[in-house]
Amino acid sequence: MVKDLHGKNIIITGASGGIGEKMARLCAERGANLALVARRTDKLAAMKEELEQRYSIDIYTFSLDVSNMEKVEEVFPLILERFKVIDVLVNNAGYGIFTYAHDADMKEVKSMFDVNVLGLIACTQQVLPKMLATKSGHIINIASQAGKIATPKSSTYSATKHAVLGYSNSLRMEVASQGVYITTVNPGPIETNFFDIADKEGTYVKNVQRYMLKPEYVARKVVDVMLTPTREVNLPRWMNLGSKVFAIAPRLFEWAGRGVFNKK
């Protein structure tokens, strides 16, 4: 059941583009107040002005690189001052770079973990005490099908998303009896600018473009489960079926899928 978001307070990281922007627009349409977080404040400012003119809601924007722990500790208290109750946190900020493991630049490896894993954990720690105090709230972590099925040239990215799933699964059990929901979202490739960085040569996009998910579709699926006890959102369904087969027969799956996996 889709919950009424009117008057709810929602934080979205990585909100300046891709599914983050689409989620922000859908939440605004449904009457939620927003704290939008991203590195690019120009896009956030334009979106704030547009949405506040169209809807009777409060929108606050914050410049933040979630990999900067000191800035996380500065910005989130400002959000908590404005929103006495945090209903939903969407940890959406993240990126990937596709390269062979032996070619990986260690600065890029560290940066991916800093943003995709440590940044997500840091943001969660900022809001979780308030949610536990009110015995309500929902944390939605954007992971990936790559966190379930690793493929060539995505070793570091897959590792970060494996970590997000592990963290989320443990956290879900910790807070299960305290009124806080934890959801992971595991999409396949989405038609966004993610691949401008991840796939600089354009090979992967060219090979899988017809299978790519529309960001509007993914965003709607996420917003639809807000404030519901949904464990996971897996998109598309056929790709998630592959992850289930992989869990049962990994060796056979890897052998059978070699041709598909080497699309990067």
- The catalytic residues are 157
Q: Measure the CA–CA gap between 109 and 156, rounded to whole angstroms.
A: 6
Report which of 68, 60, 55, 67 is spatially closest to residue 29, judged by C-alpha positions: 55
What's the residue count for the chain?
A: 264
Q: What single DSSP character describes residue 190?
A: B
Q: Measure the CA–CA gap between 86 and 194, rounded to whole angstroms.
A: 28
User: Do residues 59 and 27 make contact, with C-beta atoms less than 8 angstroms apart?
Assistant: no
Token code pair at residue 249:
């027969």
Cβ-based neighbour number of residue 123 at 10 Å: 26
Is-cis flag, bond preceding 152, omega within 30? Answer: no
Q: Measure the CA–CA gap between 186 and 203, rounded to whole angstroms.
A: 22
